[in-house]
Amino acid sequence: MRHVTAAIYISFGFLFYFLQGFDGFIGPDFMEWIIFLFIFVGVMYLFIDLRNFIKKKVQ
């Protein structure tokens, strides 16, 4: 289930990233941090899910 959560976080991160390219889009000053945090949290969820999957396979 974490991989679904990770996909949502990563997709929102890239959505915010691509929104910056549109004319007339005014985001907050710290938009780069928001994008970084969304993508980072998504990657961490994927990492944790993969680690748990490997642990279950080994046992």
Q: Which pLDDT score, from 0 to 100, does residue 29 have?
A: 87
pTM of the model: 0.83
The chain-wide mean pLDDT, for the chain, equals: 91
Q: Which pLDDT score, from 0 to 100, does residue 26 have?
A: 83
Domain ranges, ordered by start, for the chain: 1-58
Cβ-in-10-Å burial (0-12, 13-18, 19+) of 13 comes to buried
The Cα 20–Cα 13 span in angstroms is 11
Q: Minimal CA–CA distance to 12: which of 44, 48, 42?
A: 42
Give yes or no for a contact between 9 and 39, defined as CB atoms under 8 angstroms apart.
yes
Q: Which pLDDT score, from 0 to 100, does residue 1 have?
A: 82
pLDDT in tens, 10-22: 999 999 999 988 8
Ranges under pLDDT 70 in the chain? none
